[in-house]
Structure 1
Amino acid sequence: MKKLPLCLFSLCALSSLGARTINVADHGIVPGKDVTLQVNQLINAVKDEPDVTLFFPQGTYDFHPENALEIYRAVANHDNSLKRMGFPLYGHKDLTIDGDGSLFMFHGHMVPFTLESVDTVTLKDFTIDWSRSFHDELLVVERDDTDQSFIVEIDPKQDPYTIKGGKLYFERYKIAEDGIGSNMVWDPKTLSPIYDTRSYQMNAGKMKVSHAGKNRVKIEKAVKVAPPVGTTLITYGTQTTNRLAPAMHVTNSKDIVIDGVTVLDGGGMGLIVERTENVTLEGMKVQAKEGYFVSTRADATHFIGCKGTIKLENCEFKHMLDDGINVHGAYVKVEEYLGENQFLCEISHFQQWGLTFAEPGDKVAILSRETILPFHETEVTEFEIINEHRFLMTVANVPANLPKGPLSVENLSWYPDLIMRNNRILQNRARSVLVTTKGKVVIENNYFNSQMHGILIEGDNNKWYESGAVEDVVIRNNTFDNVGYAKTERYPLLASPLFRPEQRFGEGHYHRNVRFTGNTIKTFNGLSVKALSVKGLDITNNTLIFDNKYPEADEGPSIVLEYCDDVLIKGNKAKGFSHDIGISQTDDCTSITAKNNKGL
């Protein structure tokens, strides 16, 4: 009798016994060596077997790109490229990856987890990290205010570097020279971006660097104000190289659970999800590894064109170089109306190229790019992809007379509900939450401490092309702890579409039904809410408390209203401020009620 290979024999035996758990050690997947090939093979072997758990006994498992499956992947809000994957999950159903507390260590530009067209997949109880970070951390040890120069100390083991032609380059896995691009200064006292960080922004293109002693580099001609001694300069590469490797990428899938997963680093986002129905994050963490200030290069989590319910509970996201969570759709440009209900369209933002915008049966809206307000809803009947930039879309009907001027379309079928409870988002660059979805949104009992806005409800048809004018948002019982220390009018809540100068208000308001109630705002500047083009806004029973973590700053009224209607401001309290905490509104606001507020 011919003997079967051990791995195939084990799978058959497990299947015949009805067992659902496979110990990966039985297939040669053990700590202390590169397991990429064996993991890829095992994943492929169980592809058609439902109700399988791949169990990784606790340990450190290494994944190298040399033996990884490679596929060209378009990844929203990242740079499209050939991607090598540690866990390529394609078409799986009822699969669980159980790490048992293991560390999955990746090397080079790899995407640890890729989930494509899967149904009911759970990732649980493991940590994702990279052997060489995608950013670098340089300690400022000297500064000279007379010529705005400064000296940094670099750990050559953590951040190997070279100086060539007066420029500073960092070495990464199989990459000898990765230049400085984006950068910012981090404060070791707060473990966050430094207060008023824009003052220390470095122009990498103009900088001149030279050796200044052992493991020390002098940087000249790069800043207007040299960063303080003791702070850390974070550099995170140039565009097209610094968003190639998100930790987890999910597309065209359903019923995804991420439970107890920690992300310590990432050449992109911790989690990016596209056109997926129902995602639950329970106890997920994004945080810097020991000895570092920064975790992921970009957002902790990001969702584009999803539906069903996105639920986050008991998660903690910190130290990212971008937002905590962003939930939105996409505005796509109409290049030309071809007649017979057919549009030639182009995906608007270069980091959305390759996005699956729609399929037959989806409901879409046609809108003016000038006012970013929709004027017609219809259904997709045919959809043909030309390339990753453009597609042809045929719809059931169009208005008899299409308006003149630039047009866009948005997909109304793929907007999710969002539930966020008992999460912490802190010590990161940018915002805690961005949400532009037409689904029901509940954000409650969370803690936010971000460098820019706490919660941004935006939508724009001119820069990021992120769609989703909100219709039902409840923000209650959250703590906003000194958000906005970028020091440029950053609010716990900003609800406003992003307009270009050539765009204008249309007949109607962009956002609707936003309730901001029962929140505690610890703040150095007294700002709370700014709203533009919102109909139905409740700002009630919130408490503003002066906090001296940062210098007290009078950055204008606490509540700012522009072109808003049906607004209730009631029962709010402000205390401890030496400057006035006021309310302002423009003449085009209507039906504004303010009463029973103390200190406002």
Structure 2
Amino acid sequence: MKTLITCTIALGALVAEGRIVNVAEHGIVPGQDGTYALNSLIKSIENEPGVTLSFPKGDYEFHAENALEMHRAVANHDNGLKRMVFPLFNHRNITIEGNGSMFMMHGRVVPFTIERVEGITLRNFSIDWAQSFHAELKCIERDVEKKAAVFELDEKRYPHKIKNGQLLFDRMGQEDPIGSNMVWDPETRAPIYDTDRYALNSWKPIKVSKPGKNRIKIEGGFKKEPPPVGTILVAHGVHPTSRLCPAIHVTNSKDLKIENVVVHDAGGMGLIVERTENITLDGMKVTSTEERIVSTRADATHYIGCKGLIKVENCVFEHMLDDAINVHGAYVPVAEYLGNKELLCNISHFQQWGLTFGEPGDKVCLMSRLTVLPLFETTIEDIRILNEHRFVLTLKEVPEVMPNVPLSVENLTWYPDLVFRKNIVRENRARSILVTTKGKVLIEDNHLSSQMHGILIEGDNNKWYESGAVEDVVIRNNEFVNIGFACDNRYPLLASPLFNDTQHMGEGRYHRNIKFIDNTIRSFNGHMVEARSCEGLTISGNKMVFSTDYPAIEEGEAIKLDYCSNVSIVKNDAEGFAPLRITQTVDTESVTIKKNTGFQAAEGMKAAKN
């Protein structure tokens, strides 16, 4: 029975009729493949606003065989034919209510594809796959001298074969080699300390054999030594097939809400959002299951070219093979100035091919690719797509004389504000937070514990082409725990553009107005902040406490400044360390250091006052 409800939409006094649809009445029930019936139901309500699809609580099965397929470009993933379980296109004010259900995926599918939707809520369900996109091998024997190890793995959970001496995993009909891999600690459920030491150089010759049921022996190829007995080698394949299936893909939409949704696995990111306005996550969780160590193949959440407000609160992101959140725009290199205010532009990074860079009316900036600094602001008059790689941009105005340097274009209209509050990020590979946006950023009251940097404020115009020099960032009242247990030179906060050998500093700073205040840092390496090319940096009221969870690293700088100006380092406290060093380059100016305890300014800097 279909139940009618009335809901109020916040558009003056407008009241709209909405409908709750019980999916069971359309043949979508737990325990059997509901893909075709669901695709048909979604198509039937495409032009009806205000619909809620309600799933009575249960375990639902969705298979690739009957899923709608089309070619899709997915940012930071591999483009291609995608089969979709929830193909949501052009809907208005639609809600998917799971009532605590499990949505179990079978095969290479994208569970949610959301395109040109205004007003959508995903609520109260979990997403998982019957077969994972990675393999987990437990080390049960090792020979350090021979660089050999025997691993135990479940042949049903991780089907595989040995072909021409190579270990190949059968992932949904595709043969995947070991490829990228790293070692995890089942006790901490995080990457093992100094994990790179034990990884396989999978491109080097290795010998693979099968000494018994559920056993694999690998000889050679380990970077320094085989993994310790009891640890887990996680193998997750190679490009271009290792990022095919994000759990939720959103593009060209508005007012997205995700509430109490759990993502246990994905052949890519848990959530990837492109060119969408206003995004709210409340109580979302990305985590592994009891049977697996690792959750998603890539980031928990990722946002490119969005605007409005991104609000992420009360979420848990753990056990991913990449970052918890990344917010950025895109630099698009100029291949050629065609004259008549037209630029031939090239989308350089292969995982941004097909990106919607801009539309007429968007404000853009011409950038120097040598200094990564702005040169000229103007507006898009027209954009003509040639293919996934290139487009022609017509501008309202161009400089009277085009600069004789390599150029890129940055979209200034599509940058969001970000609130990241009361979240937990832990036990994942890579960083907790990456943020490069010109909007206002507030990061507060979070628990952050990642293998690499805690918060990375970067931006680069040469590798990932992720744009967005920040202008207003507040990082306060967070707890950073054992940041950098990759055993590298990692910091709770690193703010620096990424340069290659051809790029150099220009006349001006890249990032501006960053406040790192009142945070607590449990640290085994004594690192707090590294900053490069920043104007206006405040580091104050932070407390550092020595941690014995990992081997102590006493070398390096607690605060490291390079090409910065107007820096204030005040009232920070460090306990349990030898005096922590503060250093700066000769290109740094206007630094105030006072009332710090447990810190020592390098020779030539203003002395710290206790």
Indicate the TM-score class for this superposition, using the shorter chain for normalisation. over 0.9
Q: Give the match for residue 101 of structure 1.
A: 100
**Residue deviations 1:193-242, cap 9 Å, x none?**
01011111211122221112222111112112111111000000111111
User: Does residue 169 of structure 2 align to residue 178 of structure 1?
Assistant: no
Q: Give the match for residue 571 of structure 2.
A: 571
Choose from 197, 200, 204 the match for 2:202: 204
Q: Write the distance in 1 (CA, Å) between the matches of 2:562 and 2:172.
A: 50
Q: Write the distance in 2 (CA, Å) between the matches of 1:438 and 1:13.
A: 44
Q: Give the match for residue 450 of structure 1.
A: 450
Q: Write the distance in 1 (CA, Å) between the matches of 2:506 and 2:335.
A: 22
1:70 counterpart letter in structure 2: E
The worse-fitting range, judged by mean Cα deviation, of 548-557 and 280-289 is 548-557
Structure 2, unpaired ranges of 5+ = 7-15, 600-610
Q: Write the distance in 1 (CA, Å) between the matches of 2:63 and 2:512.
A: 49
Q: Give the match for residue 542 of structure 1.
A: 542
What's the secondary structure of 1:199's corresponding residue?
helix
Distance of aligned partners of 1:437 and 1:18 in 2 relative to their CA distance in 1, 3 Å threshold: closer
Task: Note the C-alpha offset of 1:12.
Answer: 11
What's the secondary structure of 1:350's corresponding residue?
coil
Q: Give the match for residue 37 of structure 1.
A: 36
Q: Give the match for residue 114 of structure 1.
A: 113
What's the secondary structure of 1:438's corresponding residue?
coil
Root mean square deviation, CA, Å: 1.3
Paired residues of 1:423 and 1:446 also in contact (CA < 8 A):
yes
**Residue deviations 1:535-558, cap 9 Å, x none?**
000000000000100011124010
Count of equivalent residues:
588
Q: Write the distance in 1 (CA, Å) between the matches of 2:399 and 2:160.
A: 60
Q: Give the match for residue 144 of structure 1.
A: 143
1:183 counterpart letter in structure 2: N
Task: Note the C-alpha offset of 1:573.
Answer: 0.3
Q: Give the match for residue 558 of structure 2.
A: 558
Q: Write the distance in 2 (CA, Å) between the matches of 1:257 and 1:58.
A: 20
> Within 5 Å, which residues of 2 pair with 1:21-420?
21-175=20-174, 177-206=175-204, 207-223=206-222, 224-420=224-420
Distance of aligned partners of 1:216 and 1:563 in 2 relative to their CA distance in 1, 3 Å threshold: same
Paired residues of 1:297 and 1:321 also in contact (CA < 8 A):
yes
2:273 counterpart letter in structure 1: V
Q: Write the distance in 2 (CA, Å) between the matches of 1:394 and 1:243.
A: 33
Paired residues of 2:526 and 2:554 also in contact (CA < 8 A):
yes
User: Does residue 530 of structure 2 align to residue 526 of structure 1?
Assistant: no
What's the secondary structure of 2:38's corresponding residue?
helix
2:154 counterpart letter in structure 1: D
Q: Write the distance in 2 (CA, Å) between the matches of 1:140 and 1:555.
A: 33
The worse-fitting range, judged by mean Cα deviation, of 153-162 and 543-552 is 153-162
Paired residues of 2:182 and 2:233 also in contact (CA < 8 A):
yes
Task: Note the C-alpha offset of 1:19.
Answer: 5.3
Distance of aligned partners of 1:584 and 1:12 in 2 relative to their CA distance in 1, 3 Å threshold: closer
**Residue deviations 1:507-560, cap 9 Å, x none?**
100000000000000000110000000000000000000010001112401000
1:336 counterpart letter in structure 2: E
Q: Give the match for residue 588 of structure 1.
A: 587
Task: Note the C-alpha offset of 1:496.
Answer: 0.2
The worse-fitting range, judged by mean Cα deviation, of 220-229 and 512-521 is 220-229
Paired residues of 1:161 and 1:171 also in contact (CA < 8 A):
yes
Paired residues of 1:527 and 1:555 also in contact (CA < 8 A):
no
**Residue deviations 1:130-153, cap 9 Å, x none?**
000000000001111112111111
Task: Note the C-alpha offset of 1:170.
Answer: 1.1
Q: Give the alignment's TM-score, normalised by structure 2.
A: 0.95
Paired residues of 2:357 and 2:411 also in contact (CA < 8 A):
yes
Task: Note the C-alpha offset of 1:159.
Answer: 1.0
Paired residues of 2:114 and 2:250 also in contact (CA < 8 A):
yes
Q: Give the match for residue 508 of structure 2.
A: 508
Paired residues of 2:167 and 2:177 also in contact (CA < 8 A):
yes
What's the secondary structure of 2:351's corresponding residue?
helix
**Residue deviations 1:361-406, cap 9 Å, x none?**
0000001100010110000001100001000000011111111121
Q: Write the distance in 2 (CA, Å) between the matches of 1:18 and 1:145.
A: 69
1:510 counterpart letter in structure 2: Y
2:468 counterpart letter in structure 1: G
Q: Write the distance in 2 (CA, Å) between the matches of 1:245 and 1:596.
A: 51
Q: Between the two proteins, what is the percent identity of the paired residues? A: 60
Task: Note the C-alpha offset of 1:246.
Answer: 0.1
Q: Write the distance in 2 (CA, Å) between the matches of 1:65 and 1:343.
A: 41
Q: Give the match for residue 485 of structure 2.
A: 485
What's the secondary structure of 1:72's corresponding residue?
strand
**Residue deviations 1:23-46, cap 9 Å, x none?**
111111100100000101111111
What's the secondary structure of 1:26's corresponding residue?
helix
Task: Note the C-alpha offset of 1:456.
Answer: 0.1
What's the secondary structure of 2:94's corresponding residue?
strand
Paired residues of 1:572 and 1:597 also in contact (CA < 8 A):
yes
Task: Note the C-alpha offset of 1:172.
Answer: 2.2
Task: Note the C-alpha offset of 1:290.
Answer: 1.4
Q: Give the alignment's TM-score, normalised by structure 1.
A: 0.97
